[in-house]
Structure 1
Amino acid sequence: MIQYDVNPGQNTIRRRSTESSVTIPFERTFRNLDGSRPAAGSPEELEFNFCGCGWPQHMLIPKGLPEGMPCEIFVMVSNYEDDRVDQELVGSCSDAASYCGVRDRRYPDRRSMGYPFDRLPRTGADRLVNFLTPNMSLLDVVIRHDNRTVSRPAA
């Protein structure tokens, strides 16, 4: 996971989909599941199956439309020092830890999976905008599709 120090007021954080803590690499999304599967019941098969968990990097946001597709994004900031869990990661993949957890370890932070949407809302929070607390925000965004192909670097 990548962490950022932020200051009071406006901050700009830029991230590529490859830096997301919910995605898996393009290559793992399209791997040959039959041709490369380890022996059934082996530790290697457990790792193989776990490494397939995650959202594809190239699908992190919708494709959008040439004229733009209006969307809303939810953003939440927390104090990493309050949430961090110091632990060694196990296995060869932990890139989608926020989506899949960490194999044989505690979730990568002290909050439960799905936090803050894993609980019933407080009274009066019948819409997302009413659910927000001072460390949360909703932002209007427009996703535009540019019909071009970007070559991927060779691995």
Structure 2
Amino acid sequence: MAPTVDENGAPLSFEDQRRLMIELDKFTQPLNAGTNTIRRRSVDSSVTIPYERTFRNQSNRQGTAGTAQAAQFDFCGCGWPHHMLIPKGTPEGYPVVVFAMVTNWDDDKIEQDLVGTCNDAAAYCGIRDRRYPDKRPMGFPFDRPAPVGILEDFLKPNMAIKQCNIRFTDATRLRTQQG
């Protein structure tokens, strides 16, 4: 997802949008021929971590800098908070473009043992002491300059975009046990 306008309301170039893209999720999903409906919650995202790990008490960190205990504590704090995956938006609606891409996971996956904890934000943080869990570079396909001037010209048949508005409503929802 990326904004479509700058802070003054002027349209952003594709190069600027490319640099501002944020990854919301990366996941595997079997697809059938024809139309498929996929629903994902922020708590299922491959870039987010639980609320409890977001605001951990740093005084509970064991060990000193450079020790295995401290490194594990720090690594488990890597990721984006579930409740902050989507930007706040504005009451009038903050314009963004959402990008989606479908690939064959058999071509992209890395065969490795995923032992250990804190692997839930693998798309942002990798997997501790393992290879990045995707053959494509982090941030792909926006990880390098594009030879085209607009996002629509960048798209391939396995890609799609949708213009959206994120509307902020000044309301509080109570958090449930499920997330």
- Pick the TM interval, shorter chain: 0.7 to 0.9
Q: Percent identity?
A: 55
Task: Give the structure-2-normalised TM-score.
Answer: 0.76
The CA RMSD measured in Å over matched residues stands at 2.0
Q: Equivalents in 2 of 1:48, 1:146: separation in Å?
A: 35
Give the match's secondary structure for 2:60. Answer: coil
- Report how far residue 68 of structure 1 moved: 3.1
Given that residues 90 and 104 in structure 1 are in contact (C-alpha distance below 8 angstroms), is that contact kept between their aligned partners in structure 2? no
Q: Equivalents in 2 of 1:115, 1:12: separation in Å?
A: 24
Pairing of 1:43-58 with structure 2 (within 5 A): 43-58=68-83
Give the match's secondary structure for 1:75. Answer: strand
Aligned residues between the structures: 152
Q: Equivalents in 1 of 2:164, 2:36: separation in Å?
A: 17
Q: Equivalents in 1 of 2:46, 2:177: separation in Å?
A: 23
Which digits, 9 at most, give the CA deviation of each residue in 1:66-122, with x for residues without a partner? Answer: 44333210111111111122222243101110011111111112111121122332x
2:61 paired residue number: 37
Structure 1 range deviating more: 111-120 or 49-58? 111-120
Gap regions ≥5 residues in structure 1: none
Gap regions ≥5 residues in structure 2: 1-25
Give the match's secondary structure for 1:141. Answer: strand
Find 1:103's aligned residue among 128, 140, 162: 128
